[in-house]
Amino acid sequence: MSVYLDNAASTALVPEALAAMSDAWSRPGNPMSLHDAGRRARRLLEESREKIAGCIGARPSEVIFTGGGTEADNLALKGIYRARRADDERRRRLVISAVEHHAVLDPAQWLADHEDADLVILPVDRRGRVDPADLRNELAAHPGEVALVSVMWANNEVGTVQPIAELAALAREFDVPLHSDAVAAVGHLPVDYAASGLSAMSLAAHKFGGPQGIGALVLGRDVAAQPLVHGGGHERDLRSGTPDVAGAAGMAAALQVAVDCMDRNAAAADALRDRLLSALAGLDGTVVNSGPDGLPGVVHVSFDRCEGDSLLMLLDAQGVQCSTGSACTAGVASASHVLLAMGMDRAAARGSLRFSIGADNTADDIDAVAGALTQVIDRARAAGLTGVR
């Protein structure tokens, strides 16, 4: 038995993406070259850009290809912060939520450590949601001092969806750009960049059936940013380097499939989620942390008196692949910052797992996971009591 329930980490490549990439790989050509092969590659690159833009409610000129979501987040935070600070040195406040992915948390902290940013972290409620009133209070208390706000569209661990349109409207009211890490949301939730009011938004292809190693930053034409990589001036002079044409083609094909099948996939994922929740309800000492109005198919659970790492490995030995709610640094388990920000105690946070259901999963998969859990929970609790890993 092998059951993959870690689709929030990375999804399988859809056939349409593989076909688009294979076709692109079969033909030579640098999209910056002027001859026929170069023009053909350039045409494919721009057609892919147009398709992606159409799927997310953006203009093609706003889509900047990157090496993935992490690079897109770094380009947004560092690039916009530096441009805003250069325009007005008073703009040194950088506001993010407490539940951001490390691709936002870490560059934000880096700017605080190395470029004199004043980092402000907005709290969240027990569901992991930012209160727009907290953002309003921060912006009103420091007029003209905030360089950038960054709040993720949907949380990658517990699936909580943020009130992005409301937050973006607040930011615009105070003339502050709002960036959103939408890596977990694009392809799974309706995302309309133009309607959202965002200034910038990050996405990654491998989260919705595309290839790993390519993503995009959607950046408004009126939003100033400084590049991180200098060279030939590709991608609006913001991301130099020969573009990955095959990756862009695969990303565009996968996103089109994800958007076209979104309603059907979401309904199927949520039906399987409910099946898993029913099975979990029969297990003592389990607490569900994800809500029904979050990302489709995401089930985040805390298991009393368990170490998440032990439970994860025991499940893996049974052929069930999911993810832990805690990270491991230098061999020492540490509780997820997301769960702690939501008010969870460290023991519960360290005993958490995320099951994320994808389009290929079936009811048999869920039943297999439920059966495996009943076999391993007691062993995981014993391991937690004895200190065995």
H-helix or E-strand spanning residue 200: strand 200-204
Place of tokens 């409301």: 166
Q: Which of 377, 332, 359, 27 is nearest to 207 (CA)?
A: 359
Catalytic residue among 55, 306, 322, 328: 328
205-230 burial code (b ≥16 CB/10 A, e <16): bbbbbbbebbbbbbbbeebebbbbee
Task: Quickly list H helices, 174-241.
Answer: 193-196, 234-237
Question: What distance, in Å, lies between the first and last C-alpha atoms of the chain?
Answer: 23
CB 218 within 8 A of CB 290: no
Residue 261 among the catalytic residues: no
Q: Which of 198, 226, 94 is nearest to 149 (CA)?
A: 94
Residue 93, beta-bridge partner list:
118, 146
* Longest Cα–Cα distance in the chain: 68
Opening angle at CA 50, ends 45 and 56, nearest 5: 130
The first and second tokens of residue 257, run together, are: 């499939």
- The whole-angstrom separation of Cα 298 and Cα 292 is 9
- Catalytic residue IDs: 328
